[in-house]
Amino acid sequence: MNKSQGDPELRFTKKFVKVKDINESIDGQEIIVRGRLHNSRAKGKLAFFIVREQFSTIQAILKAEDKISKGMVTYASKVPKESIIEMKAKVVKSEQPVETCSQKVELEIMEFWVINKSAPMLPFQIDDASRLVTNQAAEGIGGGDEEQKEGEDQGGAVVK
């Protein structure tokens, strides 16, 4: 029988901050955030995560330092995309705004928890579903299914 080791009362008292509400006004504060792991990349003792909650995204950084080991950085970087994660982190205004995320501040992770691990390979990735297709006829989608005439270009779809 599996039994949770956490305090059941803590789930009712823990206050989460929504990703869309994280901005420069709470710079320096420690917060708890829960969201989906949108993307991750790691190199050595440093890992970068993009965390998504609904349509809002934020960049989080995990560094191997005092309390966080290199093994923890390695483990966290291998968590599958779309897993639900929870982080205790400090809000930091970055020197350069994060261009790839909706929130222009970063999170320095102090605690990293995997709440629900997704399947290692989902039927399709969110990145694939959100790509813009500029030539639907080449994809065979909607109105462009006419037969190709001899001598016409048979090129593939253009995606950005």
Q: Domains in the chain: how many in total?
A: 2
Phi-psi region of 82 (alpha: psi -120 to 50; beta: other; left: phi over 0): left
112: domain CATH number? 2.40.50.140
For residue 101, the tally of other CB atoms under 10 A from its CB is: 19
Say whether both 94 and 152 belong to one domain. Answer: no
The answer to whether residues 56 and 24 belong to one domain is: yes
Q: Are residues 73 and 152 in the same domain?
A: no
Check whether residue 47 and residue 109 sit in a common domain: yes
What pLDDT is recorded for position 94?
Answer: 86
In a domain, 5, yes or no: no
What is the model's pLDDT at position 99? 85
List the structure tokens of 26.
Answer: 């709470």
Provide φ and ψ at 18, rounded to 5°.
Answer: -70, 145
Does residue 110 sit in the same domain as residue 156? no
| Residue 51, both tokens | 């965390």
* 94 and 156, same domain (yes or no): no
Q: Which residues pair with 47 in a beta bridge?
A: 42, 62
Q: What are phi and psi of 22, to 5 degrees?
A: -85, 120
User: Residue 73 CB: number of other CB atoms within 10 A?
Assistant: 22
Kindly list the averaged pLDDT for each block of 10 residues, start to end, along the chain of length 160: 55 87 93 93 92 93 90 92 92 87 93 87 68 71 51 52
DSSP at 147:
P
In a domain, 4, yes or no: no
Domain of 143 in residue numbering reads as 130-160
How much is the pLDDT for 41?
92
Residue 93 and residue 135 in one domain: no
62 burial level (CB within 10 Å; 0-12, 13-18, 19+): buried
pLDDT at site 34: 93
